[in-house]
Amino acid sequence: MKYDFNWGMMIEEPYLEWILDGIWMTVHLALVSWTIALIVGILIGTFRVTKSKWLRVIGAIYVEIFRGIPQLVQLFLWFFVFPMLLSEEWMLWWNGLDHVPYFTAVIAISLFTGARVAEQIRSGIASIPRGQFNAALSTGLTPPQMYRYVIIPYAFRVVIPAIGSEFLTVFKNTALALTVGIAETTYTARSIETDSFHGIEAYSMASLTYMCTTTMVVVFMGWVERRTHISGLITRR
Amino acid sequence: MEWSVILPNALYMLGGLKGSFELAGITIVLSFPLGCLLAIGRLSSNPWIKWFCSAFVNILRSNPLILILFWFYFLVPFIIGRPVGDLMSAVIAFVIFFAAYFAEIVRSGIQSVGISQIQAGLSSGLTYSQTMRYIVLPQAIRSMLPALTTECILIFQGTTVAYVIGYSEMLHRASLVAERTLRPVEIYLFVTVIFLLICYSGSLLSRYFEKRL
Amino acid sequence: MPEPIIQLKDVHVSYGDFKALDGVSTDVMPGNCIVICGPSGSGKSTLLRCINALEEFQSGEIIVDGTSVKTCKDLPALRVNIGMVFQHFELYPHMSVLNNVTLAPIKAKKLPKAQAEEIGRKVLDQVGILDQAEKFPAELSGGQQQRAAIARALALEPKLILFDEPTSALDPELISEVLKVMLKLAQAGMTMLVVTHEMGFAREVADEIIFMDHGKIIEHGSADEFFTNAKSERTREFIDKILHKI
């Protein structure tokens, strides 16, 4: 087995530019998708715990569908199927946009992840002891007030670890976007590999990107958890 | 919409399920025991073993599946010295990747049993491995069943990623059919429904286990 | 003169800065029932767990039935001779009561199943729950569970039994059935070390009482002396509080 290592090529042109572009693409694709996923997730998650049967059903259906279809298939659906289902003029508008693959990827990843976040929120709220609801209501708070001042802040602290790990899931899932033509980190690594046959250096670069980000996020989440810790509360670890 | 496109190709696409289940099945059978070993290793008192297992699990969990797949697709033929089939690379990549996820599930399952049960076992003269085998693991596995089922569903869903190295599972076949018939909508909606059916049944099973707890 | 069955010599246990045991030395004679009492955090449970090596001690010596715990190479063999009963019973929820009792005799003492079951039924009868043998722990009351736990310890035919607050997790009405079983054991001559707050039990059954505070043994004397004429001020203070003297 012979292999000529050439780590230096990673920091030479043109690969360096490819790499930086790829990483940047991964980062902002992840941030945008995660933000939308959080909004969707909090919405759907709350639906699933409200008194209204309809909202609960909508929430449940959403979660089953978006968790039951593999992420890659969802990407394909938004890329191949969605535009075809639009009316003539909307389809023209959509195809005329710059960065169609990017929007496709954002929608596909945020809706998938949103379903996962919804589940975390739902189980976070479900883990709050019944007594808290009773205590809040017994002091004369209305249900919306109860949610706003007592339940959501409590649930939030319980789900913080889960939210951090969802960001990491999103960050890793952006790699799948290469199948619809997004030149993110993994795509870049593969391009470098097929171009130069130096797979180990190329893939190491990609792995390093993901691992460094993971470590930074984990450390940051640890800090956040310590800051928002409710002492005496045994959270799910 | 030309739904008639689905029928003639359905068998071919459903045949891809064989590939999906094959890859998923082999992965589950191999990666679960590996995951158990890693979990026990992480709880070991030997610092070398503990460090190695922790590093293994953390590294694998920090990387996307598709990247790990590319890694092994590149490395395996290189190390063995000759080209290997895509099933082989995919299996190796998947087994190593998902073992790390099983390891975490098993580890937290073991820890949820509680140290007092371990103490009770040790105090009656059982060795550490006897305690693990007769007291801790039976209880741990019961509590892990929902999470393990979910992980199996994720493995099944993950087989679609093997599409990128040309492995013939259902999504790959669907994409070939869609290209050929130029009717992506009907074809992809068809496979979506199939996936939904399978994954939904899986999630029902997982919920059943959770209720039985 | 009989040899002590347990010898503790200057045992120290620390967790980081916190000193759980601070130079504990004492002897326990065979056949005695010793009650260990003291405020929370005084090191009583730590002391028990050091004796059967569930906890490590940083310095000192513990000798149980002639074997040094620190240098013992075969801890399971040592522990088979030391029974332990826990505050929260710690029965194995996934096994029937009989299987809970026979697991260690079969796996640790390598007895054949039939013999283990015979012993198992004998000890279950001894504690009065033979009719619960096939039930699962969750189906038993707290008092029955703790008696099952005692049976589990007895099935090993140990030389001594350690009790770590055996009645603290029980409803008040269920405490006496467990104490009765312990009384019978003491009368039969079993060596027992009991960490407990049950002073009534201590007065009736204990041969000696040890009072601990902040990791040290403050007082160790016969039961009568302890209640009527404790040597240390701290001990007298504790007795007053625990007997709810207002």
What pLDDT does A236 receive? 38
- Cα separation, B204 vs B197, whole angstroms: 11
Q: Give A68's contacts in chain B (Cβ within 8 Å).
A: 195-196, 199-200, 203
Give the neighbours of chain C: at least 3 Cβ pairs within 8 Å.
B
A173 touches chain B (CB under 8 A): yes
Q: Give B120's contacts in chain C (Cβ within 8 Å).
A: 84, 86, 90-92
Looking at CA atoms only, how far is residue B118 from chain C in angstroms? 9
Long-range contacts of C182-190 (CB under 8 A, 24+ apart): C182/C150, C184/C126, C185/C150, C185/C154, C185/C161, C186/C33, C189/C31, C190/C31, C190/C33, C190/C160, C190/C161
Report A:35-94 residues touching B (Cβ under 8 A): 64-65, 67-73, 76-77, 80-81, 84-85
Give the neighbours of chain A: at least 3 Cβ pairs within 8 Å.
B
Query: CB-based contacts of B1: which residues, under 8 Å, 6+ apart?
Result: B185, B186
- Cα separation, A82 vs A74, whole angstroms: 10
Q: What residues in chain B have per-residue pLDDT under 50?
A: none
Helix (H) or strand (E) holding C36: strand C33-37
User: Three-state DSSP class for C194?
Assistant: strand
What pLDDT does A2 receive? 65
ipTM reported for the complex, 2 dp: 0.85
pLDDT tens string, chain A, 237 residues long: the values are: 567 777 777 777 778 888 899 999 999 999 999 999 999 998 898 888 887 889 999 999 999 999 999 999 999 999 988 888 888 888 888 888 888 899 999 999 999 999 999 988 888 778 777 777 777 777 666 777 777 777 777 777 777 877 888 899 999 999 999 999 899 999 999 998 888 888 888 899 999 999 999 999 989 988 887 877 655 454 433
Q: Which residue of B has its CA nearest to C93?
A: B139
* Residue to test with chain C: of B116, B118, B123, most C Cβ within 10 A: B123
Question: Percent of chain B scored above 70 by pLDDT?
Answer: 99
Tokens of A212: 């460094």
* Bridging pattern class, strands C191-195 and C33-37: parallel
Amino acid identity at A43: L
B160 touches chain A (CB under 8 A): yes
B16 touches chain A (CB under 8 A): no
Structure confidence by residue, pLDDT tens digits, B155-176: 999 999 999 988 889 999 998 8
- In the numeric block, the tokens 């000759």 are attached to B82
What are the beta bridge partners of residue C68? C63
Residues C108, B142: C-beta atoms closer than 8 Å: no
pLDDT tens string, chain C, 246 residues long: the values are: 678 999 999 999 998 888 899 999 999 999 999 999 988 888 899 999 899 888 889 999 999 998 899 888 888 888 889 999 999 888 888 889 999 899 888 888 889 999 999 999 999 999 999 999 999 998 999 999 999 999 999 999 999 999 999 999 898 889 989 999 999 999 999 999 999 988 888 888 899 999 999 999 988 888 888 888 778 888 888 887 877 755
Q: What is the DSSP string of C66-86?
A: TEETTT-S-HHHHHTTEEEE-
- Cα separation, C105 vs B134, whole angstroms: 13
B199 touches chain A (CB under 8 A): yes
Cis amide leading into B83 (omega within 30): no
* Residue to test with chain B: of C103, C106, C113, most B Cβ within 10 A: C103
Cα dihedral value A167, A168, A170, A174, nearest 10: 140
Amino acid identity at A184: E
Nearest CA-CA partner of C162 in C180, C129, C185, C187: C185
Report C:99-118 residues touching B (Cβ under 8 A): 103-104, 107-109
